[in-house]
Chains A and B, each alone.
Chain A
Amino acid sequence: MTAPPVGTESQLVIAPMLVVLIAAVGSLLLGHRPRARAAVSLAGGAAYAVAVAAIDWYVVLAPDAPGIATYQVGDWAAPFGITLVADGLSAFMLTMVAILGVCSLVFSTRHLPGGEGRSYYFPLFHFLALGVTGAFLTGDLFNLFVWFEVMLMASYVFVAYSGGPQHTRAAFWYVALNLLASAVFLLGVGGIYATTGTLNMADLAQRLADPAAYGLEPVPVVGLLGLLLSVFAIKAGLVPFQFWIPTAYRAAPPQITALLAGATKKVGIYAIIRLSFTVFAGAEVAVDLPLPVIDAAIAGDSPLPFVGAALFVMGTASILLGGIGAVGRDSMEGVFAYSSIGQVGFIAIPVAIAATTASPELRRFAIIAALVFALNHTLAKGLLFLAVGTVRAATGTSRLNDLGGLASRSPPLAIAVFIASLALVGIPPLSGFFGKFLVFDAAARAGNGPAIVLLLAGSLLTIAYATRLWNRSFWGARTPAVEAATVDPVQVAVLVVLATAIVGVGVGFEPVYEFAQTAAEAALDSEGYVDAVDPQAADDLLGSSGGEH
């Protein structure tokens, strides 16, 4: 068996994962030397950013870039071995995570909560990043399950990290829920293997597009996809699977919560987009839903309308519940946790539009809208959760009743939070404006009146809770806690960097839009994905004796 030529692009695909693995090992071996540990972790974070940037440029964005690159781990050919695939969509997601991950890592070197567990903080941080990276890069459904587990194992520890009774309680529910979700995931994966005989995503897409040639009966796939979607919705925190979010987000250290909201949630979104559009879109299954949920276009010959209808319902409920819930919270992280639920709804609605529309043009546009909104959410919500960490480290509290007058205590902190809040609301020229504008535009192009009303209501709720939080904690008279606060300059610097990124994405939006467009095209280009992975090669190898391979 000869491997396909291992070119530079191909080597790059695995680079981010190797970098994170090495950083995890290094920080684990240096567990007893805090400075060296932090230095290795920072170096790992920097190398990760470089690796992701290299993928962005050499695989996706450069003029002569191939657009997609694959890597066969352990030299086992697809569809039997594990395939890693970096395409536009993966690269876009990795870039978001790399920006936020490096910020959170720098932030973590300044303020490490916890006592004895401290020496395991950085290894776990890297494992969390490894799980997220693996989930974005893998081209194998079972391997996706494995990366979900890697991500979860690390996040279990982080939710219980502070060790108090309420943290343990939150961690218990988090573990229980996610074990259930993992079981459902495994059930779905097993069902898909039983139905189609493969778990390689490219092979799966190929077989589902032409079930007769492989002797498959693809109908059960719709229900199994539903099972998988429910698991991804738990990760993304869509209603009705949102209930774990507020307690888990409050229990984890804020810089980790920033990653949970900015990175692991996006894994759920990514998995929904990747599986629905790249893998299952071509499946020839007649779907005829009796519910007139959106409009008459609910029937079709692929599982997508089914996905769209489900996402539309979940997205609607998320926007309303998240927005209304955020208005009434009494702590900063409570407001932001509910706000995250609502914002994921804003991402789900354009994905639902993309899934239900028949026009390829609108489908592409709606996915761009979802991706740009996701990018804005990662930057803005990441910044806000890091700001919670800064405020908590400085004042010892993040309860709105105990805060006030932060704006005069630390103007840079206030400006950064102000920019992120405006980005959430969607004020030009910030990244949030374009995110929201594109989502509205997609809804308008789809002619979906109810969706526009819903998005407007959600935006009004965003203004309400953002204003309330700002008034209660940053304006007004200084409380004793704020008066005694000393704000860490490095942490504030990290916030300012993120705020600059939010402004930068908004001002220089053209390249970001092009990147998102490449990502959306990659998500929809099922054939390109199959060609790049080429799962047929191994079949030929088995079928023909003494062939050219």
Chain B
Amino acid sequence: MTTVIMRTTARAVVPIILVVAISLFFEGHNLPGGGFIGGVLTVTAFAIIYMAFGLDFLERGVLGRDVDPGKEHSRDRVVVAYRRLFAYGFAIAVASGLGPLLFGEPFLAQSFVMLEGVPIYDHLEVASALAFDFGVYCVVVGGLLTILSVVGAE
């Protein structure tokens, strides 16, 4: 798979996918999109990197770490990081649900603030649902990347 065409395409496509994923994530609370879809799309970007450059590329090429070739891939530090992302994302989602209880509102209740006169955007909506969505995003990215990298190595 690692032809020149594949690698060149990956370089062009991956940034576009990531930008679309992030925009989907940000508009999820009142338009089609959200943490789940944004997360899945982000994972496809990682999948393309894995396919084009190999499983060790993130560890060696991006993060500049040495990879012990004899070691099981599921013990890699990047995979440990994926798992941690999963756990933290889950914690953020639960915490965002518990937050409203502090204000005497029911579990998972949401609110939003409209900011007017913001530069470039003019008016910007800040929604508390974004915190929950962010948690979901982390769970999806962490969980799917763990599966992808562990199963991909076997």
Q: Contact residues of A with B, CB < 8 Å? A: 3, 6, 14, 18, 21-22, 24-25, 28-29, 31, 71-75, 116
Q: Which residues of B contact A22 (CB under 8 A)?
A: 94, 98
From known contacts A28-B87, A29-B87, A31-B87, infer whether A74 and B94 are also in contact, taking CB-CB under 8 Å: no
- B88 to A, closest residue via Cβ: A29
- B90 to A, closest residue via Cβ: A25
Give how many B residues have a beta carbon under 8 Å from the other chain's beta carbons. 18
Residues of B75-125 whose CB lies within 8 A of A = 83, 86-88, 90-91, 94, 97-98, 100, 104-110
From known contacts A18-B98, A74-B110, infer whether A3 and B90 are also in contact, taking CB-CB under 8 Å: no
Q: Which residues of B contact A29 (CB under 8 A)?
A: 87-88, 91
From known contacts A18-B98, A21-B94, A22-B94, infer whether A73 and B87 are also in contact, taking CB-CB under 8 Å: no
Q: In the bound complex, what is the Cα–Cα distance between A21 and B92 (angstroms)?
A: 12
Chain A nearest CB from B104 CB (Å) reads 7
Q: In the bound complex, what is the Cα–Cα distance between A31 and B90 (angstroms)?
A: 13
Q: Which residues of B contact A116 (CB under 8 A)?
A: 74
Q: Which residues of A contact B107 (CB under 8 A)?
A: 14, 18, 71, 73-74
Q: Which residues of B contact A6 (CB under 8 A)?
A: 104, 106
Q: Which residues of A contact B100 (CB under 8 A)?
A: 75
Chain A nearest CB from B29 CB (Å) reads 12
Chain B nearest CB from A122 CB (Å) reads 12
- Do residues A74 and B106 form an inter-chain contact, with CB atoms below 8 A? yes
- A4 to B, closest residue via Cβ: B106
Q: In the bound complex, what is the Cα–Cα distance between A532 and B90 (angstroms)?
A: 32
- Do residues A75 and B94 form an inter-chain contact, with CB atoms below 8 A? no
- Do residues A25 and B108 form an inter-chain contact, with CB atoms below 8 A? no
Q: In the bound complex, what is the Cα–Cα distance between A414 and B3 (angstroms)?
A: 67
Contacts A/B (CB < 8 Å), 14 sampled: A3-B106, A18-B107, A22-B98, A25-B87, A25-B90, A25-B91, A28-B86, A28-B87, A29-B88, A31-B87, A71-B106, A73-B106, A75-B105, A75-B106
Q: In the bound complex, what is the Cα–Cα distance between A350 and B107 (angstroms)?
A: 38
Q: Which residues of A contact B106 (CB under 8 A)?
A: 3, 6, 14, 71-75
Q: In the bound complex, what is the Cα–Cα distance between A163 and B99 (angstroms)?
A: 39
Q: Which residues of B contact A24 (CB under 8 A)?
A: 90
Q: In the bound complex, what is the Cα–Cα distance between A116 and B150 (angstroms)?
A: 13
Chain B nearest CB from A378 CB (Å) reads 28
Query: Most B CB atoms within 10 A — which of A22, A72, A75?
Result: A75
Q: In the bound complex, what is the Cα–Cα distance between A75 and B90 (angstroms)?
A: 22
Q: Which residues of B contact A73 (CB under 8 A)?
A: 106-108
Q: Contact residues of B with A, CB < 8 Å? A: 74, 83, 86-88, 90-91, 94, 97-98, 100, 104-110
- Do residues A75 and B109 form an inter-chain contact, with CB atoms below 8 A? yes
Q: In the bound complex, what is the Cα–Cα distance between A71 and B105 (angstroms)?
A: 11
Chain A nearest CB from B134 CB (Å) reads 15
- A26 to B, closest residue via Cβ: B91
- B83 to A, closest residue via Cβ: A31
Q: In the bound complex, what is the Cα–Cα distance between A31 and B86 (angstroms)?
A: 12
Task: Specify which of B94, B105, B108, B110 is in contact with A3 (CB 8 Å cutoff).
Answer: B105
- A3 to B, closest residue via Cβ: B106
Q: In the bound complex, what is the Cα–Cα distance between A3 and B100 (angstroms)?
A: 13
Q: Which residues of A contact B110 (CB under 8 A)?
A: 74
Q: Which residues of B contact A21 (CB under 8 A)?
A: 94, 97
- Do residues A74 and B108 form an inter-chain contact, with CB atoms below 8 A? yes
- Given A25-B87, A28-B86, A28-B87, 8 additional A-B pairs, CB 8 A: A18-B98, A25-B91, A29-B87, A31-B87, A74-B106, A75-B100, A75-B106, A116-B74
A-B pairs, 4 with minimum CB distance: A74-B108, A75-B109, A28-B87, A25-B91
- A22 to B, closest residue via Cβ: B94
Q: Which residues of A contact B97 (CB under 8 A)?
A: 21
- A10 to B, closest residue via Cβ: B106
Q: Which residues of A contact B98 (CB under 8 A)?
A: 18, 22
- B104 to A, closest residue via Cβ: A6
Q: In the bound complex, what is the Cα–Cα distance between A73 and B132 (angstroms)?
A: 14
- B80 to A, closest residue via Cβ: A32
Chain A nearest CB from B95 CB (Å) reads 8
- B74 to A, closest residue via Cβ: A116
Q: In the bound complex, what is the Cα–Cα distance between A21 and B105 (angstroms)?
A: 18
Q: In the bound complex, what is the Cα–Cα distance between A527 and B88 (angstroms)?
A: 43
Q: In the bound complex, what is the Cα–Cα distance between A75 and B128 (angstroms)?
A: 14
Q: Which residues of A contact B88 (CB under 8 A)?
A: 29
Chain B nearest CB from A538 CB (Å) reads 15
- A72 to B, closest residue via Cβ: B106
Q: Which residues of B contact A25 (CB under 8 A)?
A: 87, 90-91, 94
Query: Most B CB atoms within 10 A — which of A25, A29, A71?
Result: A25
Q: In the bound complex, what is the Cα–Cα distance between A25 and B94 (angstroms)?
A: 8
- Do residues A74 and B87 form an inter-chain contact, with CB atoms below 8 A? no
Q: In the bound complex, what is the Cα–Cα distance between A25 and B106 (angstroms)?
A: 20
Q: In the bound complex, what is the Cα–Cα distance between A6 and B88 (angstroms)?
A: 30
Q: In the bound complex, what is the Cα–Cα distance between A18 and B98 (angstroms)?
A: 8
Q: Which residues of B contact A75 (CB under 8 A)?
A: 100, 105-106, 109
Chain A nearest CB from B87 CB (Å) reads 5
- Do residues A74 and B104 form an inter-chain contact, with CB atoms below 8 A? no
Q: Which residues of B contact A71 (CB under 8 A)?
A: 106-107
Q: Which residues of A contact B90 (CB under 8 A)?
A: 24-25, 28
Q: In the bound complex, what is the Cα–Cα distance between A22 and B97 (angstroms)?
A: 11
Chain B nearest CB from A322 CB (Å) reads 38
- A74 to B, closest residue via Cβ: B108
Q: Which residues of A contact B108 (CB under 8 A)?
A: 73-74
Q: In the bound complex, what is the Cα–Cα distance between A3 and B87 (angstroms)?
A: 32
Chain B nearest CB from A45 CB (Å) reads 18
Q: In the bound complex, what is the Cα–Cα distance between A152 and B100 (angstroms)?
A: 29
- Do residues B109 and A74 form an inter-chain contact, with CB atoms below 8 A? yes
Q: In the bound complex, what is the Cα–Cα distance between A28 and B90 (angstroms)?
A: 9
Q: Which residues of B contact A31 (CB under 8 A)?
A: 83, 87
Q: In the bound complex, what is the Cα–Cα distance between A24 and B95 (angstroms)?
A: 12
Chain A nearest CB from B101 CB (Å) reads 8
Chain A nearest CB from B103 CB (Å) reads 11
- B132 to A, closest residue via Cβ: A74
Q: In the bound complex, what is the Cα–Cα distance between A176 and B61 (angstroms)?
A: 40
Q: Which residues of B contact A18 (CB under 8 A)?
A: 98, 107
Q: In the bound complex, what is the Cα–Cα distance between A25 and B88 (angstroms)?
A: 8
Q: In the bound complex, what is the Cα–Cα distance between A14 and B108 (angstroms)?
A: 11
Chain A nearest CB from B42 CB (Å) reads 21
Chain B nearest CB from A155 CB (Å) reads 18
Q: In the bound complex, what is the Cα–Cα distance between A417 and B113 (angstroms)?
A: 61
